[in-house]
Amino acid sequence: MKTIIAACSQNLSGSRASIQTALRTLLAAPWPSQRDMRSWLQLLSVLQWVLSFLLLGTVSLLLLIYLVFTSFWPISALYLAWIIFDWDTPEKGGRRLPCLRRWPVWRHFRDYFPVKLVKTHDLSPSHNYIIGSHPHGILCVGAFCNFVTGSTGFGEMFPGIRPFLTTLAGNFRLPVFREYLMSGGLCPVTRRAIGYLLSKNGTGNAVAIVIGGAAESLSCRPGVTTLILRNRKGFVRMALQHGAYLVPSFSFGENDLFRQVVFEEGSWMRSIQQRFQKMMGFAPCVFYGRGLTSVRSWGFLPYARPITTVVGEPVTVPKIEDPSCETVDTYHEMYIRSLLKLFNENKTKYGLSETDELHIL
């Protein structure tokens, strides 16, 4: 018995010593610095954003379909009833939540790149505005950060102005994802939705439209600034019909966030992309960014490149209920001149050279 007790005591002493050694080793190990913690938080904030936009709608739809065949089918039935009841809400200004726009994670999202907003002229709360956002890039990071989140200080720079960002109407048909979009102030890029914000929501509304759309994303690559704008005139017609001023904005650095395989015009792959874009509303781009664990690995996260969004001078637009084609063309040219002026005056300040040009197709 004494031998057994002695052996147990020896084992306990050994275990205690092992634990103490492990604790000393743990305490002696270098702890993450504040800089490392900030970098991880920034990376995680971008990861949740990318996953939300790429997977939230699809995963939610598949989950609700799966629940139909289980004992939890009432959840799917109730949500379907809610969507039917709430069908027109996205077309009527949505359901924005200020708390989500002030979510602290967006500050880490902003600092990852970082994203900066530059104001050149005041916007009066007594008018409504259509802000043209250029370029589209792959995921419209600059437009989202500046016009959906409050992290870059849009509300402080433009007091009394409520920004709205438009996106594909099909996104508002996806369960759960539609709630996420509306809570941030996004609305469908349809005549009805934009018309509601410009005519039935008072003044001080700024509707941001990524005018180049999916077609422009096919030409997105670093070092090339090509905009699809020459034949995009619907936003000008709407501005005239509602008397909304036109405001150009340009996000310098947007095209540097990803690397894309760009197929030449006339190739069979380019033809497939364009046909898919016409049918579905978005283009299947072949792109890559950095990986989750290393900048040198390939993945789907954007590279950390600075983005500076410059908001230009408003183009004064009269209210004409039925503008002629000549009038639309006139103000469309005025908008293009204002955009070119904005680009040329700021390109050398934010990463481009004096010889870089803005190509408008």
Residues 131-186 pLDDT 10s: 999 999 888 999 999 999 999 999 999 999 999 999 999 899 999 999 999 999 99
pTM of the model: 0.87
Residues 258-294 pLDDT 10s: 887 765 666 666 676 667 666 665 666 667 889 988 8
Please say whether the dihedral angle defined by the alpha carbons of residues 214, 307, 171 and 290, taken in this order, is positive or negative: positive
Place of tokens 């200080």: 153
Determine contact, residues 168/177, Cβ cutoff 8 Å.
Answer: no
Lowest pLDDT segment from 64-68, 72-76, 96-100, 108-112:
96-100
Domain regions of the chain by residue span: 35-351
Q: In degrees to the nearest 10, what's the CA dihedral of 242, 243, 246, 247?
A: -100
Lowest pLDDT segment from 172-186, 211-225, 251-265, 320-334:
211-225
